[in-house]
């Protein structure tokens, strides 16, 4: 017994150190404990309520257990059997009624918030509609009322309901912006889900895929950029301006023939790949290469990130469906030129 206790004493400091180190892991911008909207705030309130109930139950149960262990422990020389209380109707009623009461205390606000946040605002004329389509491994955002289809960076007006229609183009994914609300799956087999989120203040929020969807699942991020109404309207207008192609005619033709068969810029191109309009204004390339415009550590100039991506897409995001530009006949010099063109393709809003 003594040796076992000595082993426990040695392990306790080690476990305390691990707990301290692990408490610093994770990303602050991906925490549900920093709500920035009414949906996320309501969900955090439910978490706090349920944890509070569990703590109260734990304290009471452990307190009673400790009291019983001390008060009724077998004393030296005590051989008689303690008084038995089975069949005590009062105790049975008490320990049946208390859990039921606690369940009701938790159930009422849970049901209220589930129904409140589960409302479908797709037909709400005051809501901004966004069709979300998940791909391996990127996000497509279509604004049907504005005629805008973009990717990776979702721009929304502050304080307005954003009604999402969610579906997938391939496998099961899950749409999640921790600071704004909970997760919602983009299901396969043609089923469509709906959810509504609101951003209370102008800021950039990180979104993730919360469902294991392939080798680059961990790299499937997106940004939600909440701006004021004037900036949102300006962004829509800038996005819909005619395409600006590379100044070099030969490069522009090669870009149109190859890149724009899948991607789009302005009013030109296809919709199979992410829309590249204004990509130079975005905080990331391929969702994980941080551009220096974000002002965060570990960033690089947008052109450098584009060159890294275009030189070897599979090295940056394994399993993605982007063909290697070199396999399409682009030289290193042309890739540099395309990267420079895209890095300077910015939207003023």
| pLDDT tens sequence across 215-246 | 999 999 999 999 999 999 999 999 999 998 99
Answer with the one of 228, 261, 282 that is the final residue of a domain. 228
Preceding omega of 11 cis (within 30 degrees of 0) = no
Residue 46 included in any domain: yes
| pLDDT tens sequence across 137-181 | 999 999 999 999 999 999 999 999 999 999 999 999 999 999 999
| 281 and 320 share one domain | yes
| 123 and 213 share one domain | yes
- Give the pLDDT band (50/70/90) at residue 81: confident
Percentage of residues in the chain having pLDDT higher than 90: 64
Strands 203-209 and 173-176: antiparallel
Q: Return contacts of 199-203, CB within 8 angstroms, 24+ apart.
A: 199/36, 199/37, 199/156, 199/158, 199/159, 199/162, 199/224, 199/226, 200/36, 200/37, 200/38, 200/158, 200/159, 201/36, 201/158, 201/226, 202/158, 202/226, 202/227, 202/228, 203/36
Q: Which tops the pLDDT comparison, 188 or 146? A: 146
DSSP conformation class of 145:
T
**Residue 189 clears pLDDT 90, i.e. is over it:** no
**CATH value at residue 194:** 2.60.40.420
How many domains are there within the chain? 2
| 289 and 256 share one domain | yes
| 189 and 292 share one domain | no
Cβ neighbours of residue 41 closer than 8 Å, sequence gap 6 or more = 35
Q: Return contacts of 294-300, CB within 8 angstroms, 24+ apart.
A: 294/204
| 47 and 136 share one domain | yes
DSSP conformation class of 291:
B
| 302 and 334 share one domain | yes
Residue 23 included in any domain: no
- Give the pLDDT band (50/70/90) at residue 112: confident
Q: Residue 274 CB: number of other CB atoms within 10 A?
A: 23
**Residue 325 clears pLDDT 60, i.e. is over it:** yes
Highest mean pLDDT among 13-22, 51-60, 158-167, 185-194: 158-167
Residue 168 included in any domain: yes
| pLDDT tens sequence across 257-311 | 999 999 999 999 988 999 999 999 999 999 999 999 766 777 899 999 999 999 9
Residue 77 included in any domain: no
Residue 284 included in any domain: yes
| 183 and 296 share one domain | no
| 50 and 183 share one domain | yes
Answer with the one of 228, 257, 285 that is the final residue of a domain. 228
| 220 and 314 share one domain | no
Answer with the one of 197, 228, 259 that is the final residue of a domain. 228
| 204 and 272 share one domain | no
DSSP conformation class of 58:
H
Residue 69 included in any domain: no
Residue 76 has what pLDDT?
81
Residue 33 has what pLDDT?
77
The parent domain of residue 324 ranges over 249-344
Residue 272 included in any domain: yes
What pTM does this model have? Answer: 0.82
Per-position b or e across 47-75, b if 16+ CB within 10 A of its CB = eeeeeeeeeeeeeeeeeeeeeeeeeeeee
| 222 and 133 share one domain | yes
Phi and psi angles of residue 15, each rounded to the nearest 5 degrees, phi first: -65, -40
- Give the pLDDT band (50/70/90) at residue 32: confident
Weakest-pLDDT range from 33-37, 219-223, 249-253, 258-262? 33-37
Q: How far apart are the first and last CA of the chain?
A: 70
């Amino acid at each position: 017994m003594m040796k076992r206790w000595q082993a426990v004493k040695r392990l306790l400091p080690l476990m305390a150190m691990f707990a301290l180190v692990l408490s610093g892991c994770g990303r602050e911008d991906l925490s549900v404990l920093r709500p920035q909207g009414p949906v996320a705030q309501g969900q955090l309130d439910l978490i706090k309520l349920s944890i509070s109930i569990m703590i109260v139950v734990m304290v009471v149960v452990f307190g009673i257990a400790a009291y019983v262990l001390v008060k009724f422990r077998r004393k030296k020389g005590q051989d008689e059997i303690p008084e038995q209380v089975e069949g005590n109707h009062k105790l049975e009623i008490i320990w049946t009624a208390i859990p039921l009461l606690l369940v009701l205390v938790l159930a009422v606000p849970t049901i209220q918030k589930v129904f409140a946040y589960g409302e479908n605002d797709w037909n709400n004329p005051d809501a901004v509609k966004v069709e979300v389509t998940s791909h391996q491994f990127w996000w497509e955002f279509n604004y049907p009322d504005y005629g805008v289809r973009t990717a990776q960076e979702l721009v929304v007006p502050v304080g307005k309901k954003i009604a999402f229609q969610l579906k997938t183009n391939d496998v099961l994914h899950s749409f999640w912006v921790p600071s704004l609300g909970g997760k919602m799956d983009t299901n396969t087999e043609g089923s469509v889900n709906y959810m509504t989120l609101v951003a209370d203040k102008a800021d950039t929020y990180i979104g993730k895929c919360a469902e294991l969807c392939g080798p680059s699942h961990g790299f499937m991020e997106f940004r939600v950029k909440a701006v004021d109404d004037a900036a949102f309207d300006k962004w829509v207008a800038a996005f819909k301006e005619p395409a600006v192609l590379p100044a070099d005619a030969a490069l522009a033709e090669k870009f149109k023939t190859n890149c724009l068969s899948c991607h789009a810029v302005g009013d030109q191109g296809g919709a199979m790949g992410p829309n590249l309009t204004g990509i130079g204004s975005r905080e990331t390339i391929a969702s994980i290469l941080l551009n220096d415009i974000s002002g965060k550590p570990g960033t690089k100039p947008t052109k450098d990130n584009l060159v890294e991506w275009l030189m070897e897409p599979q090295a940056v995001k394994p399993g993605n469906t982007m063909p290697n530009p070199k396999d399409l006949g682009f030289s290193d010099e042309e890739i540099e030129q395309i990267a420079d063109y895209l890095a300077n393709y910015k939207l003023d809003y």
